[in-house]
Each structure stands twice: as C-alpha cells, then as structure tokens.
Amino acid sequence: MIRIAASVLAADFARLGEEVAALDDAKADLIHCDVMDGSFVPSISFGADFIAAVSRCSRVPLDVHLMVRDPVSQFGFLERLRPHIISFHLEAVDDPTAVAHEIRSIGALAGVAIKPATPGGRLVELLPHIDVALVMTVEPGLGGQHFMGEMIPKISEIATAIRAGGLSTMLQVDGGIDVETIRAAAAAGADTFVAGTAVFGHRAGLGAAVDALRVNARAAVRN
Ligand code: DX5
Ligand code: ZN
C-alpha cells in the first residue's frame, strides 16, 4: 500500500485552513506535521495550537514528526489531538523502546526517525517495537531541500529487514520527495512518502500533486 503524507510545513500559513481543508479532496493519506524546537534542529516551526487548528480543518489523519530534544514532553497535548502516528528521533532519546511504548499507550502508532548520518542498523534493531520506521532523506529542519540519493541503500536495508521479520512496519521517507525521487524510494521498499514542496507548491493543485506522486510510486513498485 502506498501512502502520501502531505507536509504542512510547505503550506501557505496565511491560508492554513483552506490549504489543509483541500487535502481531503486531494485524497492525501496523512497530514504530516513537523514540530521543531530550535534545539534538536535550528529552526522553530509550530506546536500544539497550530496542530490543533490543522486537525479542525481536515479529516485526514495526523502524522506528527517530532524534531525535538524532549519528545515525551509533547505527548500530553498530542494525546488530545488523537494523531494516527507520532514519530520521534532516535538520536534524541536514551531508551527508544520505552518512548515507543508510551506513544502506543496514548493510542497512536509509534514511529522512529533517523537522520542521514545514523546507520540503518540502529532502526532495524528497533523494528519489533515500533509501527513506523522513518528514514530522513534530507538533514531534518527545513523543507525544500534536495533528496539524498545515498540514502537508498539504507531504505533497502530496512525494507529487507521488515520483510525478513514478517513485520507490517510502515517504511516512511521524508525530505526532497517529488515525482522523480519517489520512484527510487518506492523501488527501494518505502511505502509512505512525506512531500511538502511537491504537494503545496504544485501549480496544478494539491489533488494533481498527490495523484502524480501516487502513480509514480505505484509504477516503481511494479517495475
Ligand atoms: C524536514 C521535514 C520535512 C519537510 C519535507 O525536516 O521533516 O517533513 O517538510 O519538505 P519537502 O518535501 O519540501 O522536502
Ligand atoms: Zn517531517
């Protein structure tokens, strides 16, 4: 199954309600919300009130990506928004299995993200304890960067481990995904694709953008 997660970081915040509401018709599978604390990554993006506003404007399930030093501190407010997925960074915590357990206990799927420099093996070890493996294909912290093709072997390594273990873990990629790069990521075994610029920056609109991404990912899986 191919899932497209539209990253709201690339939306026009001055028209947030309209942009997010359009994702329902565009048939996005998830709304990806990047929380940045200005410490784990240099930028500050948005927090609780913003995500609450997003969730009021759309029925598309929330996919929260925490790029913060203390992910557990965010769970209190997130629980009330009933997100489908909460992902945190492996590099930010001492005991990722415990943090994943806490996410599941508040009713969300537990995702673990790794930065480009973190080996895929660190995520492979965690697969039995998590629901979503998130491979960053850019340095986290900014939208609109170029996809790092050198992450493809890492995606393949994790996809192979998921299959070998008979697991149903989602394999998500985030950063620089567009109609071209999605092919390589899908062929390597990713099934969930975060796209910000490619969705909200598309001249023909959000629906056309989501369709084009999905069509190309499916074609790459079939080949
Ligand atoms: C980057 C964020 C991404 C970002 C992707 O740190 O995690 O989710 O919004 O944006 P694009 O698709 O523009 O690379
Ligand atoms: Zn993200």
Q: Is the CB of 145 under 6 A from ligand 1?
A: yes
Contact 207, 178 (CB under 8 A): no
The closest ligand to the CA of 11 turns out to be 1
pLDDT band at 63; cut points 50, 70, 90: very high
Atom of ligand 1 nearest to the CA of 198: 12
| Band (44; pLDDT cuts 50, 70, 90) | very high
What does the pLDDT average to over 115-122?
98
For the CA of 139, the closest atom of ligand 1 is 6
* pTM over cut 0.85: yes
| 34 carries an active-site annotation | yes
- What pLDDT shows up at residue 222? 82
| For range 212-216, the mean pLDDT | 98
Mean pLDDT within 126-133: 98
**% of the chain exceeding 90 in pLDDT:** 98
Quick one: pLDDT at residue 139? 98
pLDDT on residue 21: 97
Judge if the beta carbon of residue 111 lies within 6 A of ligand 1: no
pLDDT band (50, 70, 90) for residue 119:
very high
* Closest residue CA from atom 9 of ligand 1: 143
Structure tokens at 158: 């994790």
The strand ranges marked E within 53-160 are: 62-67, 85-89, 109-114, 132-136
Beta carbons of 73 and 40 less than 8 angstroms apart: no
